[in-house]
């Protein structure tokens, strides 16, 4: 899957099972991934791609997931976030 993500412009920032709770009660994931995309459109194109479809369907059928698209922005406009 690494090659597939990279071909669509994505870059893994984290892919780990080493997750430590500091607050909260939600069950920790077995694997935690963060992928940086050059744009929302690139992330959506990957998610909807025929190449990724079998992986998406297997993931949905075989596990309880949260799959989120998070904007790289600071709504307070005080943090320096690279564009």
- Extents of the domains making up the chain: 2-18+29-62
77 phi and psi angles, rounded to 5 deg: 60, 25
Q: Is 69 within 8 Å of 43 (Cβ atoms)? A: yes
**9 pLDDT band (50/70/90 cuts)?**
very high
CA dihedral (40, 74, 33, 1) positive or negative: positive
pLDDT tens-place string over residues 32-66 = 999 999 999 999 999 999 999 999 999 889 888 88
Helix residue ranges, H only, 18-66: 40-48, 53-62
Query: In sequence order, what are the beta bridge partners of 34?
Result: 14
Closest CA to 5 of 53, 37, 40: 37
**25 pLDDT band (50/70/90 cuts)?**
very high
């Amino acid at each position: 899957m690494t090659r597939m993500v990279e071909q669509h412009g994505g870059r893994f920032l984290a892919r780990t099972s080493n997750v430590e709770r500091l607050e909260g009660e939600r069950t920790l994931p077995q694997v935690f991934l963060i992928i940086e995309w050059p744009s929302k459109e690139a992330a959506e194109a990957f998610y909807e791609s025929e190449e990724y479809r079998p992986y998406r369907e297997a993931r949905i059928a075989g596990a309880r997931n949260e799959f989120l698209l998070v904007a790289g922005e600071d709504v307070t406009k005080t943090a320096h976030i690279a564009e």
